Amino acid sequence: FHAIFVINRKCIIQMVNAKSCEVFGWKRDELIGHNINVIMPPGIAKHHDSYMTNYIKTGTKKMIGTQREVTAQRKDGSIFNCKLGISETKESGLICGFILDVTTEKAAEAEILAKQRLTEKIIDAAFDALFVINERGIIEMVNTASTAVFGWSQEEFIGQNISIIMPPDHAANHNGYLSRYLKTGFKKMIGKEREVEARRKDGSTFPCILGMSEVDDLGSK
């Protein structure tokens, strides 16, 4: 499923496959005999021949034998993200490029990131103090209300065990409660609300209503 281009040491395209034509929009005979820079954005295209010249003179392989993400240009001028891998055939001196269009992958990543940012904004806008912890009890996310109520900054919270907001007697047992739940699946607190005691950064304690819910994300809780 890769677009494949085979070029000589003058950067002239010698061979392409059907996928190359599909991805880039040129016909095979429009590509053969042309410089490979026709599939590159202008800023990269103008330097490509010099990269090849430098490689021929020095033998230093910056791209050959590696794979990296780059941008490419279609016949219609549109730019897209792709993964490029390059190999060389010593006997013939030909260089082969394997190109994989990752446009869909990047769009999916952008959508996930946008949803994540929206979720973070919603959480941060909540009036109640909110903590997100992993299955080891480590705080992964807090909102602004949490910092206002407990006195720690977000940076001080992230990466710490949730037991820091509990009075010592509860804190000492919390990891055991969590381990027992992960082993048995018995939900003693999850899905319920109850009044408990919490502790601020300055050591003072106060009564609060605690509600807990669980998010099962591909096996992680």
pLDDT digits over 19-30, tens only? 999 999 999 999
Query: What separation in angstroms does the CA of 192 have from each of 174, 187, 208?
Result: 17, 9, 14
pLDDT for 182-210, tens place per residue? 787 666 667 778 899 999 999 999 999 98
Q: Kindly state the average pLDDT of the residues 72-76.
A: 96
**Distance between CA 181 and CA 155 in Å, rounded?**
28
Q: What is the torsion angle, in degrees rounded to the nearest 10, for the CA atoms of residue 164, residue 170, residue 172 and residue 174?
A: -80
Query: What separation in angstroms does the CA of 24 have from each of 28, 96, 100, 133, 205?
Result: 10, 17, 11, 46, 65
Say if residue 59's pLDDT is above 50. Answer: yes
Q: What percent of the chain has pLDDT over 70?
A: 95
**Distance between CA 158 and CA 191 in Å, rounded?**
24
User: What pLDDT, on a 0 to 100 scale, did the predictor assign at position 113?
Assistant: 84
- Give every CB contact of residue 77 below 8 A, 6+ residues apart in sequence: none
Q: Kindly state the average pLDDT of the residues 6-13.
A: 93
Q: Decide if 128 contacts 149 (C-beta within 8 A).
A: no
pTM for the predicted model, two decimal places: 0.53
